[in-house]
Amino acid sequence: MATLAWARAAIGAASSALAAAVFAVLDVVDVVLCVVYAILDGILEESPVRCYCRNRPEPEPEPEGMSDTLYARRSAIRDALLGLVVRRRRRRRTPAVKWRSSPRWSDCACKSCVAWQQGRGERLHVVVKEPDPSTKGFSGITLLAFFANAASGTSAVFIHGFTSSSSFWAETVFREGSSLLHSSTRLLAVDLLGFGQSPKPGNCMYTLKDHVEAIERTLLIDPPPHNNLMSSFHLVGHSMGCIIALALAAKHPTRVKSITLVAPPYFLACEEKAASQVALHRLAEKKLWPPLLFGSAVMSWYEHIGRTVCLVLCKNHLLWEWLLRLLTRKRDVDFRVRDLTRHTHHSAWHTMHNVIYGGAALQDANLEAVQAAAIPVMLIHGVDDHVVPVDCSRHHLKAKLPRAHLRLVPGCDHTTVVSGRERGFAHELTAFWSSAGCSLPISISQSIVRVP
């Protein structure tokens, strides 16, 4: 027994040492890339944008909603190297974030990626599934047609997670579980600002407020004479989408009929760290295993390495998609793979820090508003989720929202809690919407049941 414990301790120490060595190398690489991109941006961009490698500039106020994690990504090696770089470039001051064109030279400028600049304005891309009484199914309609009929029936707004799009819902629940959903409920899945086919402005900091206001402009508030597009609606969010759903509900408590949070990230602040820092260290801990955690750590801690990944994958996504179709001999690329490249580094980097990490500091106030408004809440979490720990729902959120329905799904991870069990997920939604006061013509148990 003692030998086994010693072996485990030795393996743990070796793993920690290897991780420290790997991330030390990444620190050096990121600083080198910082210099490289500063030179290239100065040559290729009219108004280069300062990165977040150096300390927060005190005289220059930051836009509201900016996360402290953008600047608080420190390591001894990184700080020492950056100190040398800053001393050499002290007289060359790069400007703060300014209004600039999009895309940047390192972003994709293909027809599909810049289509949002052609006539849509500031509205998000939305996939709408309208109930079709003649077929008992759903048929896609345009957003303009939705606006014309928004006052009638009940709507449900689905919000996707990080580096995803409306396809996460449209290709799963909308397609496979539509027969179980309310025959008079209109289903809407949005592409969040900066993702999928929605606008990706270069002058936006992609704060939580920015994302909420983008949804409001698209679905909730229309210029006069039509001020309110939906008088009431259900909200369904996955992962990062849960943070945005809670902020939207806290702002419109009288219009939200229910909230379903799937794999919601929620971390409590401690004496040593703010909630944003706790979220950063829990969701992007510097470990080599599992691979998803390692990838999250690299993209969260290293701004310029992340930009390089986007330069290779996102800027050249048409090439990668062609290669995948050639190798798999399939006509279409899987939507999960496609969604990984449908953003800019600017939109992904700022959304990750200002919503996922920075939004953690705003969660308590939003949860209190939801609790005060007595909005019904359902929590769904995969027991095997290695991206967002199941304790976020099982302990933290359940303690904050004691009246919330808690549904733990054995054998499911961060994605398969929805994908692969679409009909079961749709069954849970209909049961919950029924218990939340939505009269359903479908005969379903009013309790939240475990569905395989």
pLDDT tens by residue, 38-71 = 999 999 988 888 889 876 655 556 678 899 999 8
150 & 16 share domain: no
Q: Where is the domain boundary, 70, 86, 102?
A: 86
Residue 156 pLDDT > 50: yes
**Average pLDDT, stretch 65-78?**
86
Residue 451 pLDDT > 60: no
The whole-number pLDDT of residue 119 equals 62
394 & 328 share domain: yes
121 & 37 share domain: no
Task: Give me the domain span that covers residue 187.
Answer: 115-437
The whole-number pLDDT of residue 230 equals 77
pLDDT tens digits for range 83-100 = 776 655 554 444 444 434
Would 431 be classed as within a structural domain? yes
C-alpha 303, offset from chain centre: 17
DSSP 418: T
The residues that bridge with 233 in the sheet, in sequence order, are 155, 256
Half-sphere exposure (CA, 13 Å, Cβ side) for 241? 28
26 & 163 share domain: no
Would 328 be classed as within a structural domain? yes
The SS3 of residue 381 is strand
Do 368 and 350 contact (CB within 8 A), yes or no? no
Do 268 and 278 contact (CB within 8 A), yes or no? yes
Domain count within the chain = 2
- What is the Cα–Cα distance from 368 to 343, expressed in whole angstroms? 32
pLDDT tens digits for range 106-121 = 999 888 888 888 765 6
Residue 444's pLDDT band (boundaries 50, 70, 90)? very low
Q: Where is the domain boundary, 69, 86, 103?
A: 86
The whole-number pLDDT of residue 447 equals 30
Q: What are the φ/ψ torsions at residue 350 (nearest 5 degrees)?
A: -75, -35
Would 49 be classed as within a structural domain? yes
199 & 309 share domain: yes
- What is the Cα–Cα distance from 196 to 200, expressed in whole angstroms? 9
Please give the residue that has the higher pLDDT: either 347 or 60.
347
pLDDT tens digits for range 283-300 = 999 999 888 889 999 999
Residue 350 pLDDT > 70: yes
- Per-residue CA distances from 286 to 294, 392, 422 (Å): 7, 20, 33
Percentage above 70 pLDDT, the chain? 81
- What is the Cα–Cα distance from 97 to 109, expressed in whole angstroms? 21
In the structure encoding, which two tokens stand for residue 341, read together? 């490249």
255 & 402 share domain: yes
The whole-number pLDDT of residue 92 equals 47
Residue 208 pLDDT > 90: yes
Would 110 be classed as within a structural domain? no
Would 106 be classed as within a structural domain? no
Quick one: three-class SS letters along 32-78?
HHHHHHHHHHHHHCCCCCCCCCCCCCCCCCCCCCCCHHHCCCCCHHH
How many angstroms separate the most distant Cα atoms in the chain? 76
Which domain CATH number covers 223? Answer: 3.40.50.1820
Would 226 be classed as within a structural domain? yes
261 & 354 share domain: yes
- What is the Cα–Cα distance from 166 to 190, expressed in whole angstroms? 5
- What is the Cα–Cα distance from 387 to 182, expressed in whole angstroms? 31
**Average pLDDT, stretch 10-20?**
89
Would 380 be classed as within a structural domain? yes
Please give the residue that has the higher pLDDT: either 203 or 383.
383
Residues annotated as catalytic (active site), given as ranges: 160, 239, 385, 414
Mean pLDDT lowest for which of 222-231, 291-300, 337-346?
222-231
307 & 415 share domain: yes
70 & 124 share domain: no
Q: What is the pTM of this model?
A: 0.89
73 & 125 share domain: no
373 & 430 share domain: yes
64 & 122 share domain: no
Mean pLDDT, all residues of the chain: 84
Q: Is 203 exposed, middle or buried (0-12, 13-18, 19+ CB in 10 A)?
A: exposed
Would 103 be classed as within a structural domain? no
